[in-house]
C-alpha cells in the first residue's frame, strides 16, 4: 500500500509534517522514560504511534514491528488492551512521582491541589483501561 493511498494518512502535507515531528518528540520522550523514573514510556509511545498513523505509515509500521514497542502497540491498536504489568508500573510511577511532587510543593496548597487532581485523573484513566487476558498472547507482527 502506498503512503499516499492510506486512508488514515492526513491530506495536508503541512499537518503530516507537524504530526511526524510530534510523533518523533513523543517517541524520544518515551525512550527517555525507559531510563528516567517518573517519565512514562507507554503513553508517549502510544501517542507517537497515533501521530505516525496519520503522518507516516512507514514510521508507524516500524513501531508496530519494533521488538520492544510492537507488542504493546499492536495489543492497543487491535484490542484496546494493555498488560497488567504496564498498568501497575504506570500506577506506581504516578503515585510515587506525584507524591514526591506534592511533598516538594509544601507551602503551595494551590499547586499541591493541582498536582493531586492530575494524579487522581491519571489514576482514573489508567484504572479504566482494559487489561489483556494473561492467557492471550499479544497480536503477532505482520511479516512484510
- Domain boundaries of the chain, sorted by first residue: 1-79, 81-134
Give the residue, 85 or 137, on which the prediction is more confident: 85
**Residues forming a β-bridge with 81:** 130
pTM for this entry:
0.72
What is the CA angle 134-138-141, rounded to 5? 165
Q: What is the mean pLDDT of the chain?
A: 86
Q: What is the pLDDT of residue 116?
A: 93
pLDDT-wise least confident of 20-24, 32-36, 43-47, 79-83: 32-36
In terms of phi and psi (left: phi > 0; alpha: psi -120 to 50; beta: otherwise), the region of 132 is: beta
Q: What is the pLDDT of residue 142?
A: 58
- What is the spatial distance between Cα 57 and Cα 96, in angstroms, rounded to a whole number? 36
Taking only the tens place, the pLDDT of each residue in 84-119 is 998 998 889 889 888 999 999 999 999 999 999 999
| CB crowding 102-141: b at 16 or more within 10 Å, else e | beebeeeeeebeebbeebeebeeebeeeeebeeeeebbee
Contact 61, 3 (CB under 8 A): no
- Cβ-based neighbours of 120, under 8 Å, separated by 6 or more: none
- 3 Cα distance to chain centroid: 23
Question: Residue 1 — very low, low, confident or very high, per pLDDT cuts 50/70/90?
Answer: very low
Amino acid at each position: 500500500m502506498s503512503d499516499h493511498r492510506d486512508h488514515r494518512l492526513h491530506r495536508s502535507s503541512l499537518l503530516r509534517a507537524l504530526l511526524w515531528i510530534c510523533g518523533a518528540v513523543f517517541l524520544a520522550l518515551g525512550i527517555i522514560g525507559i531510563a528516567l523514573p517518573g517519565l512514562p514510556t507507554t503513553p508517549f509511545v502510544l501517542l507517537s504511534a497515533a501521530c505516525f498513523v496519520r503522518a507516516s505509515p512507514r514510521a508507524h509500521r516500524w513501531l508496530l514491528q519494533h521488538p520492544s514497542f510492537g507488542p504493546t502497540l499492536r495489543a492497543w491498536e487491535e484490542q484496546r488492551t494493555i498488560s497488567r504489568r504496564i498498568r501497575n508500573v504506570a500506577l506506581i510511577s504516578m503515585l510515587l512521582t506525584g507524591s514526591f511532587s506534592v511533598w516538594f510543593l509544601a507551602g503551595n496548597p494551590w499547586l499541591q491541589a493541582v498536582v493531586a487532581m492530575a494524579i487522581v485523573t491519571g489514576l482514573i484513566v489508567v484504572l479504566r483501561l482494559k487489561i489483556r487476558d494473561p492467557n492471550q498472547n499479544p497480536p503477532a507482527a505482520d511479516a512484510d
